Structure 1
Amino acid sequence: ELCSNGNSCVPPKKKSNSMVPVYVAIPIVVVLVILLLLVLLICMRRRRQASNSIKPQNETRFTPPHSWDRNRDSSLQLNNQRFTYEEIMVITNNFQRVIGQGGFGKVYDGFLENGTQVAVKLRSESSAQGVQEFLVEAQTLAKIHHKNLVTMIGYCNDREHLALVYEYMSEGALHEHLRGRHYDTTLTWAQRLRIAQESAQGLEYLHKGCNPPLIHRDVKTSNILLNANLEAKIADFGLLKAFNYDDDTHVSTARLVGTHGYIAPE
């Protein structure tokens, strides 16, 4: 008669398991939140590294020239050496050896007093590029410096004589190699790719490392110079234009500039 006293034989009710899903869900949610935070931190770190790799550490602030009086040398605001026309004649040995030709004028081989070999670009009276282009190039190269941009050593602004003194690039312009004028050397594909990359690095510095950004507007193989190690440097900044406003999406000009065959179709 074990079951005669009421509910003594009824099996006890099992405890409710309604809290078990909560106990299981809480650790899962915590783990998911931690993983999400880790993913966000990794993405932010990668984005920061990418932005640092694009923008140079030392940003160059460039004041675009507007108008200068060529008779006032102080308007150039150059820290580079100034030469007289007589000194230019001595450096080039009375313009004995021509090593290049451009829209600005002829480029001559020269030597400084300390024996450093240089290239002297002398403005021709018949040059299509005038005083403004000369001042733009001088002002630009006096303030910007990059391993893939040609270095200006000094300048001459002596009455009607205008000249720029550059570092000497012994292998000349890229187009001379591409057109077979250097018969003793043929650029390998690896060298061509490296030259293209180094040229792009020079342009990237102008676009992203200068404030405001600068647009070259005459990029062509004759304006890419090579040194003894076939390292590329961009030259000829007479047509350079500043990207003046932060909200600009493009640079427009009142006239078409550059060299036919190299101007972008758009």
Structure 2
Amino acid sequence: MSKLFGSFRDLTGNKLTGTIPLGLLIRIQDGNLTLRYDHSPNLCSNNSSCQPTQENRNSKTTGYIAVVVVASVVVVALVVLLLFFVIRRKEEPANIHNQEGDVQSRNRRFTYTELKVITSNFRRVLGEGGFGPVYDGFLEDGTQVAVKLRSQSSNQGVKEFLTEAQNLTGIHHRNLVSLIGYCKDGEYMALVYEYMSEGDLQHKLRGRDRNDGCLTWRQRLHIVLESAQGLEYLHKACSPPFIHRDVKTSNILLDANLKAKVADFGLMKAFNQDGDTHVSTARVVGTPGYLAPEYVSLL
């Protein structure tokens, strides 16, 4: 609150703003008035000092321009980055199932000599299917793998081999067996998979290993559910969708924790990409009784 004592006014601490009236300034200059206005930094003692100087105006203008320029650069950079990703995505092949080069670009290619080293000259057989025998092996870093070598007497030819290899380069799911690499060395063809220590479900259900106990109903339920999740991924999440056409217990593999993964994709077929769900019936393949329902319903 201001205090008045004759020709003395104390306005200290009032945090005044604006301009001191001209009449008071004249009295102060004539010595008829003493005015204190401490702690009022925004109070101007003359008209000119309350107006921003040209230097201040220029600095503010420069600041505004800098902000606009920086914002424009950021926007342009984001647009360029977005266009880059869009163009790059368009340049990527829409279909990964056309040529062997696709397989080589995504997975390791082994020579037949390397496979002999990995499997210790094909010493230990893990199993055998329509494609050929499956051997136990170890990579250089100690990773255990399963090597499926095409037999010369196999009824599955080069087409089925490339189909399985190429299909597996573009599909990845926790309930599908992962492809590590492949071999196409002259007449020798092989696929290198992740190792599934508990073998196939058929083996487990028949109890060929007397040391293994029977699967509990809870374990069986989990295996069925996980297998279904792998098939659902093929049918619904892939573009184009796939049908397995050979789903059976021998093609469901189990790891050390009895986690199920669907395997053997040599007979897998893609639906047409144009939305048509028609499947040609000129060559019906697969194990009778184990074909996918979506495939059978269109026969």
Which residue, 236, 257, 260 being the options, matches 1:229? Answer: 257
Task: Give the conservation status (yes or no) of the 8 Å contact 1:64–1:242.
Answer: no
TM-score by length of 1: 0.71
Q: What is the CA-CA distance between 1:76 and the residue it aligns to? A: 3.4
Residue among 176, 188, 194 paired with 2:216: 188
Asked if structure 1 preserves the Cα contact closer than 8 Å seen for 2:96 and 2:102, the reply is no
User: What does the per-residue CA deviation read over 1:60-101, in whole Å, with 9 as the maximum and x for residues that have no partner?
Assistant: x972635x5xxxx52635411111100000000000010010
**2:109 counterpart of 1:82:** yes
**Structure 2 partner of 1:129:** 156
Equivalent AA in structure 1 for residue 181 of structure 2: G
Identity %: 68
Q: Does 1:142 align with 2:169?
A: yes
Matches of residues 1-266 of structure 1 in structure 2 within 5 Å? Answer: 63=95, 65=97, 68=99, 73-74=100-101, 76-183=103-210, 184-263=212-291
- Deviation of 1:259 after TM superposition, in Å, equals 1.3
In structure 1, list runs of 5 or more residues that go unmatched. 1-60
Q: Distance in 2 between matches of 1:85 and 1:148?
A: 29
Q: Does the residue aligned with 1:211 lie in a helix, a strand or coil?
A: coil
Greater Cα shift, 243-252 or 75-84: 243-252
Asked if the contact 1:62/1:143 (under 8 Å) is kept, the reply is: no
Q: 1:175 Cα shift?
A: 0.4
Give, as a single letter, the amino acid of the residue that structure 2 aligns with 1:253.
Answer: T
Q: Which amino acid aligns with 1:204?
A: E
In structure 2, runs of 5+ residues without a counterpart are: 1-92
What's the offset of the Cα at 1:142? 1.1
The ranges of structure 1 where at least 4 consecutive aligned residues each deviate by more than 6 angstroms after the TM superposition are: none
Let me know the Cα RMSD of the aligned residues: 1.8
Q: Which AA in structure 1 matches 2:205?
A: L
Q: Deviations over 1:38-68 (max 9, x none)?
A: xxxxxxxxxxxxxxxxxxxxxxx972635x5
Q: Which has the higher helix share?
A: 2
C-alpha displacement at 1:246, in angstroms? 4.3
Letter in 2 for 1:63: N
Higher relative contact order structure (alpha carbons within 8 Å, sequence separation ≥ 6): 1
| Alpha-carbon shift at residue 253 of structure 1 (Å) | 3.0
- Give a deviation string over 1:230-257, Cα, whole Å, max 9, x none: 0000000000111114442443331221
Aligned residues: 201
Residue type matched to 2:283 in 1? Answer: R
